[in-house]
Structure 1
Amino acid sequence: MRIAVVANTAWYLVNFRLNLMSALQAAGHEVVAIAPPDDLQERCLQAAGVRFIPVPISGSGTHPLRESRSVLLLRRAFQRQGVHVVLSYTPKGNLYSALGALSLGLPFVPNVSGLGRAFIRKNWVTAVVKLLYRLTLGRASTVFFQNLDDMAIFVHAGLVPPERCKRLPGSGVDLSRFSVAPFRVREHDAPVFLLVARLLWDKGVGEFAKAARMVRRHYPNAQFQLLGFLDVDNPSAVPRAQVHEWEAEGLLTYLGPTDDVRPFLAAADCVVLPSYREGVPRTLLEAAAMGRPVITTDAPGCRDTVVHGQTGLMCRVADADDLASQMLAWSALPVTERHAQGQRGRKRVEAEFDERLVIQAYVQVVQQLAASLNK
């Protein structure tokens, strides 16, 4: 079969789904990656033997004509490439792929990796998105969810029939690539806290900065680092000027974006993500796989990544004071317990979040669709 894999950035496909696409090709299928144009990521996909079809899908646009154009271009790509099945990711990738696939009578398998900004900051867009979900995802072959909270919301709202829902362990982690890294030797009162994410307010970047200011009063040698994309096409984007202001204050260090997060995880003592809501944040799973304790919020998706007091700590959502309290509590731990948390986190990822579990679930669904199409 020819399978289209769609997301709203090519970077997402390369960094999160390349192993899946390779596995599908190894199983005898042909894979076509579809996302907005990106020359660097296109070369990465081509090197893996995956054909790339550029289609513009905006990250934050709401203009009806421009958004409709994305749907029409996706439909045209599916038709011209002779696609048999569509696998999709990210909110817009899911909705627009579903509309294009339904108009052609193609089976499609969306992956709900978090509910997105429309569910975090509710407004008129929320009502429109829910209506589109009800019209599309209810007709999907299978809908993969990354956490049970999101699945329950969709089922209870009547957006997806329960018999079509399946839960995955997040995006999974490539355990051979993300191996345990030894901790760097440093003074006990100089921990390095790292936040890895697109720099959005909804990721808790503001709370991280406020908490850093509070923690530094007790641990003046502590370091706080940000790693991820600035100038994101998203209304929740943290302005570059704000990041520069934090740096000028000596509060945070902005490390920029990266295509390989491993050296930065290895250089950190604790990875922090105070997000308001996620699917299952892969950065925290990758951190745990490398033996790093994590601190995150008691929010859907985030809470899946940590066992409080065992592999890290949890704080309340959108609460900088509680985040600072948890960071201070973690900083007060003996070094041996910090390391023990990292070791327990690695074992948990091995048992529950191995990427091979995710790939196996997709291959099985694709095989079932292939069998039904060949009848």
Structure 2
Amino acid sequence: MKKKIIRITTVPQSLGGLLTGQLKFMKDYYDVIGISSNEQVLKNVGVKEGINVIPLEMTRSITPFKDLKAIIDLYKILKKEKPFIVHSHTPKAGMVAMIASKFARVPNRLHTIAGLPLLEATGLKRTLLNTVEKITYGCATKIYPNSYGLKKIILEERFTIDKKLKVIGNGSSNGIDTSIFDPKLYTEEQKKQLKKSLNINDNDVIYTFVGRLVKDKGINELVAAFNQLEKEKENVKLLLVGAYESELDPLSPDTLLFIEKNLNIINVGWQNDVRPYFSISNFLTFPSYREGFPNVVLQASAMKLYSIVTDINGCNEIIIEGLNGTIIPTKNTKVLYTKMFNLHDKNIADIDLEKCRSLIIEKYERTFVWKKLLEEYQSLENEIN
């Protein structure tokens, strides 16, 4: 019989989106069960990945009574299912899963860290989040930061000890399918039609951001830098692909007004498929304050985009200065503007766009990441044997 693995995320969009394909791959080697909230969406993920699923209501925010109920409900599930491995992703799912699996005596309690939102918190909230993080790590048997920079931060914050930590492969939670993120899939006519629908001219230089439109992603600085840039350059567009999260991390009123009123800022909202927008872009602008291992930068590079990223973990591991992008300080509008200005005048032909793509294929191809994680799971079996 195959050993049983339970994979847990707070919301099913993470289970079926951020980890797409991975659960189906693991199903050939293990009995895989997915657990997350939102039963109907979770069922769709189960069908897509070909796995069994079990709903468990969890919240993304701090809700002590609901969190306690989730821990108790998950404990009951684990006692019934008796998994060999519980592997969680996302902060709330990690806390719930690691505590419940510790009490249920699951032998292998694994948690992947794909970012630390607490790094931007202060005061009592930061103290509370630090405590929760230490409890999560303390209950886990292994912690997998999805970048080497994140591992360094975890050790600096003293959340756990070094021997519990391991980066799988070269980083990333799921790698990237470069056969899907390939600019060759889009014809010149398709790109022309998309530009036309967005009122983008053929000679416009397009700076693109993909992700949540929130403060922590550096959108305030990006919009401010772009507003300065368009005073100097006529043929520029800022393409924003993502949704607001006004309750969790709102943008400044000035930024929201600029996005709404400026005709050169094109906000297309959340998109299930971001590839068409990469295909018409000239540069990725990604001035985030914090990341785990950003899929957006992998995707853009695979689509042959030169990137402007901030000097944070993940970003500074994917981007090699001057080769497939450039690295700037966080929260620095002036430097971001300067880089955007300089790239506007740079001859695209001088950039080795093939190198942008080949670097990703070499280090972060999806099947490579899956096989490295499979090796890790199998090593746990060998430890037991």
| Partner secondary structure for residue 53 of structure 1 | strand
Deviates more, 1:274-283 or 1:255-264: 255-264
- 1:32 equivalenced with 2:43 (yes/no): no
Instruction: Indicate yes or no: 2:182 matched with 1:170.
Output: no
Which blocks of at least 5 consecutive residues in structure 2 are unaligned?
193-199
Counting aligned pairs with the same residue, the percent is 18
The Cα of 1:308 is off from its aligned counterpart by 1.8
Q: Do residues 363 (structure 1) and 377 (structure 2) align?
A: no
Residue 158 of structure 1 and its aligned partner are, at CA, apart by: 3.3
Structure 2: distance between partners of 1:64 and 1:304: 36
Report whether the alignment pairs 1:141 with 2:141.
Answer: yes
Distance 1:79 1:257, change over 3 A: farther
Alignment of 1:243-282 (within 5 A): 243=256, 246-282=259-295
- Tell me the equivalent position of 2:159: 159
- Inter-partner Cα distance in structure 2 for 1:39 and 1:344: 42
Shift of 1:372: 4.5
Aligned-pair RMSD on alpha carbons? Answer: 2.5
Check whether the contact 1:212–1:251 (CA below 8 A) recurs between aligned residues: no
Q: Which residue of 1 aligns with 2:71?
A: 71
Task: Specify the SS of the correspondent of 1:102.
Answer: helix
2:363 equivalent among 329, 342, 352: 352
Match of 1:313 in 2: 326
What's the secondary structure of 1:18's corresponding residue?
Answer: coil
> What amino acid is aligned across from residue 161 of structure 1 in structure 2?
I
Residue correspondence of structure 1 range 183-262 to structure 2 within 5 A: 190-231=204-245, 235-238=248-251, 243=256, 246-262=259-275
Residue 245 of structure 1 deviates from its aligned partner by 5.2
1:47-85 CA-to-partner distances (Å, cap 9, x unmatched) read 3212232222222x2232122223223323333444331
Residues of 1 paired with 2:226 and 2:254: CA distance?
18
**2:112 alignment partner in structure 1:** 111
Q: 1:125 to 1:68 in 2, by over 3 A?
A: farther
Quick one: distance in 2 between partners of 1:309 and 1:293?
Answer: 9
Paired residue for 2:301, among 288, 308, 315? 288
Partner of residue 197, structure 2: none
Partner of 1:23: 25
Judged with a 3 Å threshold, the aligned counterparts in structure 2 of structure 1 residues 230 and 79 are, in CA distance, closer, same or farther, namely farther
What is the one-letter code of the residue matched to 2:109? F
SS at match of 2:7: strand
User: For the structure 1 residues 215 and 189, does the alpha-carbon distance in structure 2 shift closer, same or farther, using more than 3 Å as the test?
Assistant: farther
In 2, Cα distance between the equivalents of 1:229 and 1:70?
A: 28
C-alpha spacing 1:328/1:274, structure 2 compared with 1 (3 Å): same
| Cα distance in 2, alignment partners of residues 64 and 320 from structure 1 | 38
- What is the DSSP-based 3-state SS (H/G/I as helix, E as strand, rest coil) of the residue aligned with 1:167? coil
1:12 is the counterpart of 2:19: no
**2:36, 2:42 within 8 Å by CA — same for their partners in 1?**
no
Structure 1 residue 162: Cα displacement: 1.2
The one-character-per-residue Cα deviations of 1:315-334 (angstroms, maximum 9, x if unpaired) are 22011121111111111111
Q: Do the aligned partners of residues 188 and 258 (structure 1) sit closer, same or farther apart at CA in structure 2, a change above 3 Å counting?
A: closer
TM-score, normalized by length of structure 1? 0.90
The answer to which of 217-226 and 363-372 deviates more is: 363-372
The normalised TM-score by structure 2 is: 0.87
Q: Give the partner amino acid of 1:135.
A: I
1:87–1:241 distance in 2 versus 1, CA, 3 Å: farther
AA aligned opposite 1:359: W
- What is the deviation of 1:220? 2.3
Partner of 2:343 in structure 1?
Answer: 330
Partners in 2 of 1:200 and 1:8 — Cα distance?
20
Contact 2:42–2:53 under 8 Å retained in 1: no
Unaligned 5+ segments in structure 1 are none
Instruction: Answer with 194-203 or 246-255: which moved more.
Output: 246-255
Preserved contact between residue 297 and residue 318 of structure 2 (Cα < 8 Å): yes
